[in-house]
Amino acid sequence: MAPSKIYTVVERSRGIKSEFTGTVAELQARFQGMLKSGNFYDRKVKLAPKSAAALIDSLNLAAERLLMTGEYRLVAVA
């Protein structure tokens, strides 16, 4: 089995930049609360995205539905 790719996700909210690094599964676990809250308001927010791009899309959609002023970006793949 091939090793899992490591991704870095940058969260920007209210002028504060935070970086989170891990596999898709680790990042999914880190943002589980955000995904669940967004899914409550809009079922289009996936609770278990299978790719990094899908995770970013779900996080941004969740932030939009929760009326948060943040954005998420995928910045690095190792």
Contacts of 38 (CB under 8 A, 6+ apart): 45, 58, 59, 61, 62, 63, 65, 66
For the chain, domain boundaries: 7-77
Q: Does residue 8 register a pLDDT over 70?
A: yes
List pLDDT tens digits, range 27-77: 999 999 999 999 999 999 999 999 999 999 999 999 888 887 677 887 777
> What pTM value is reported for the model?
0.87
